[in-house]
């Protein structure tokens, strides 16, 4: 993998982490169930159910600042 491709992957992952964090925070702030939040993560990140659940677990396990580092599931 070239360095440019690696950088693009890292930027793409960073955006996904930020979007997932925003979905979770917003969903919880508005009182949505975890199932609805997971559905939103799946739709936004275009991922499967297992990955969306893992994202949610990682978010719950970590402090917000650590979430960006730990999302590499």
Question: What does the pLDDT average to over 4-27?
Answer: 72
| Tens-place pLDDT, residues 15-25 | 778 889 999 99
pTM of the model: 0.69
Query: What pLDDT was estimated at residue 56?
Result: 92
Q: To the nearest 5 percent, what fractions of the chain are helix, strand and coil? A: 80, 0, 20
| Tens-place pLDDT, residues 44-69 | 989 999 999 999 999 998 855 556 55
Between the CA atoms of 72, 39, 63 and 60, what dihedral angle is there, to the nearest 10 degrees? -100
Domain boundaries defined on the chain: 24-72
What is the distance between the alpha carbons of residues 37 and 17, in angstroms, rounded to a whole number?
A: 14
What is the distance between the alpha carbons of residues 48 and 23, in angstroms, rounded to a whole number?
A: 16
What is the distance between the alpha carbons of residues 15 and 21, in angstroms, rounded to a whole number?
A: 10
Query: What pLDDT was estimated at residue 68?
Result: 56
């Amino acid at each position: 993998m070239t360095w440019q491709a690696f950088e693009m992957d890292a930027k793409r992952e960073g955006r996904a982490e930020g979007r997932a964090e925003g979905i979770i925070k917003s969903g919880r702030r508005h009182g949505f169930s975890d199932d609805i939040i997971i559905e939103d993560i799946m739709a936004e990140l275009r991922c499967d159910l297992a990955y969306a659940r893992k994202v949610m677990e990682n978010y719950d396990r970590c402090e917000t600042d650590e979430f960006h580092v730990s999302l590499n599931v």
